[in-house]
Amino acid sequence: MSRITSLRILLALATLKDMRIFAWDVDSAYLHSKIDHNIYVRLPDGYEKPGKVGKLNKALYGLPEAAWVWREDLEEKLKSLGFAPLKSDCGVFISKTTSGFTAIDTHVDDATGICSSEEEELRIKCGIQKFYKIKEKIQLTPSRS
């Protein structure tokens, strides 16, 4: 969950350097995150059994720690793909490889990124799809004039 200033800087950099811009949304993001402690809930209407409760194995929307657990899960997955969070904004992740430079700005379950090549964009997209189902929001390529 980055600062809006970081996103503006990334988009300005992409424009100045003719970089590719992409954005995606992770489907059911909070449901990917495992909870590391016990949380018990009342069973929903229609499933009630006297004296029984349900134990959550994964985070749910509305759970106070859901956003934190999701953020940790996303960071772990991005690090496995060669990204590192910025020290100045832990919601922005940077990767520099032989195929190019990529920066991803995260906000809850959305990500907006810039990258220097189509090859790099495909590497990131394929990598993240190993972990999550994503919906692409935009994909802009630089105009080579």
Residue 144 has pLDDT above 70, yes or no: no
Higher pLDDT, 67 or 85: 85
48: pLDDT strictly greater than 60? yes
In angstroms, the CA 98 to CA 102 distance is 11
- Average pLDDT (81-95) is 94
Q: Is the pLDDT of residue 143 over 70?
A: no
When the pLDDT of each residue in the chain is averaged and rounded to a whole number, the result is 87
Q: What is the residue type of 82?
A: G
Residue boundaries of the structural domains of the chain? 4-34+65-140
Angstrom distances, CA of residue 34 to CA of 37, 69, 78: 9, 7, 17
Fold of 4-34+65-140: Alpha-Beta Plaits (3.30.70)
* pLDDT confidence bin for 89, thresholds 50/70/90: very high
Residue 114 pairs in a beta bridge with: 21, 103
Residue 28 pLDDT greater than 70, yes or no:
yes
pLDDT tens readout for residues 123-142 = 999 999 999 999 988 777 76
Instruction: Kindly state the tokens that stand for 132.
Output: 């999550």
Q: Is the pLDDT of residue 44 over 70?
A: yes
pTM of the predicted protein model: 0.81
29 near 108, Cβ under 8 Å? yes
In which band, very low, low, confident or very high, does the pLDDT at 1 lie, cut at 50, 70 and 90? low
- Does the pLDDT of residue 145 top 60, yes or no? no
Token pair 């194995």 in the structure block, residue? 57
